[in-house]
């Protein structure tokens, strides 16, 4: 399975255009939150309409999985907590997003919403428990914020990670967590785009202005993850211990440049 991870596109349409342009090269495209931008002069409702159209264009080419981020919250639930209603239930027109799980080949993907208080956090607790019962050979979480006290959550002066996520990772030991949120992490001293908690690989693409966006490509057969950014390109081997400094990518691997490969079907 070949997967593309992007995050924090923040309603930058050239970045969405780039994803549309490359989507067909991947079995799965993951967009890990902050699709919208609170600072934009464009109304949030109009942004969500445009972004959903981009989602549809990507889904015409490959399997798309998304989660909400803090910039995507557009409604208030009964408990007075913010939620991304436009990514829930009938609002997403069948898109695999917040609160859902999807099996693709031997991998279970679970998409988690941004939580804004004790009620939505308790709902996530329940989602983790239910998804764990469906676990396959590989379990990958899509969750906007990285875990606390991790290199992928380091902003240069303090950690911006999620304490609850760190505890959930230590409880359930997923194979991977695909995230974003902390823009600076890969570009500052002591930060990174990749980390490990126990057996769990954690990825955060990071964010900078300009196209193409920072992105991670993961290939399960090659057991490699590659990070591409304006600051340089790096890679890790997923069947080996994580070593720092992370190795620079000097040349494209054969598995990325060599022709077509069979698609991995979604199982529902």
pLDDT of residue 239: 97
d(CA 85, CA 113): 10
263 falls within a domain: no
- Supply the Cα-derived Rg of the chain in whole angstroms: 17
d(CA 250, CA 233): 8
For residue 262, give the H/E element and its range: none
Q: Residue 254 in 3-state DSSP? A: helix
Is residue 195 within 8 Å of 169, Cβ to Cβ? no
266 falls within a domain: no
Cα 184 to chain centroid distance, Å, stands at: 16
pLDDT of residue 257: 83
Query: Where in the sequence is the domain holding 175, given as residue range(s)?
Result: 2-257
242: which DSSP letter?
-
pLDDT of residue 263: 63
pLDDT of residue 173: 97
267 falls within a domain: no
Tens place of pLDDT for every residue, the chain, 268 residues? 999 999 999 999 999 999 999 999 999 999 999 999 999 999 989 999 999 999 999 999 999 999 999 999 999 999 999 999 999 865 567 799 999 999 999 999 999 999 999 999 999 999 999 999 999 999 999 999 999 999 999 999 999 999 999 999 999 999 999 999 999 999 999 999 999 999 999 999 999 988 899 999 999 999 999 999 999 999 999 999 999 999 999 999 998 986 556 666 655 5
Beta strands in 52-143 (DSSP E): 63-67, 75-76, 82-83, 101-104, 107-111, 138-142
239 falls within a domain: yes
pTM: 0.95
pLDDT of residue 260: 59
pLDDT of residue 262: 60
109 falls within a domain: yes
d(CA 91, CA 144): 20
Burial tier of 199 (Cβ tally within 10 Å: 0-12, 13-18, 19+): exposed
Could you give the number of structural domains in the chain? 1
Peptide bond into 264 cis (omega under 30): no
Residue 198 is part of a domain; what is its CATH number? 3.60.21.10
pLDDT of residue 210: 84
265 falls within a domain: no
């Amino acid at each position: 399975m070949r997967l593309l991870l992007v995050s924090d596109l923040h309603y930058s349409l050239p970045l969405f255009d780039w994803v549309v342009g490359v989507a067909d090269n991947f079995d799965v495209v993951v967009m890990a939150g902050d699709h919208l931008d609170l600072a934009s002069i464009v109304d949030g409702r109009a942004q969500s309409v445009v972004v959903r159209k981009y989602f549809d264009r990507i889904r015409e080419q490959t399997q798309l999985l998304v989660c909400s981020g803090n910039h995507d919250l557009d409604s208030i639930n009964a408990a007075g907590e913010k939620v991304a209603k436009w990514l829930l239930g009938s609002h997403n027109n069948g898109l695999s997003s917040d609160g859902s799980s999807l099996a693709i080949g031997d991998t279970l993907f679970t998409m988690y919403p941004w939580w804004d208080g004790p009620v939505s956090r308790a709902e996530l607790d329940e989602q983790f428990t239910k998804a764990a019962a469906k676990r396959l050979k590989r379990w990958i979480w899509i969750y906007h914020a990285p875990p606390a006290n991790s290199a992928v959550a380091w902003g240069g002066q303090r950690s911006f990670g999620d304490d609850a996520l760190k505890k959930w990772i230590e409880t359930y030991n997923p194979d991977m967590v695909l995230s974003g949120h902390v823009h600076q992490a890969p570009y500052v001293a002591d930060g990174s785009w990749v980390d490990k908690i126990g057996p769990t690989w954690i990825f955060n693409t990071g964010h900078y202005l300009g196209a193409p966006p920072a992105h991670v490509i993961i290939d399960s057969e090659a057991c490699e993850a590659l990070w591409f950014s304006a600051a340089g390109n790096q890679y890790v081997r997923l069947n080996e211990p994580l070593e720092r400094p992370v190795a620079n990518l000097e040349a494209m691997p054969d598995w990325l440049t060599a022709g077509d490969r069979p698609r991995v079907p979604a199982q529902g």
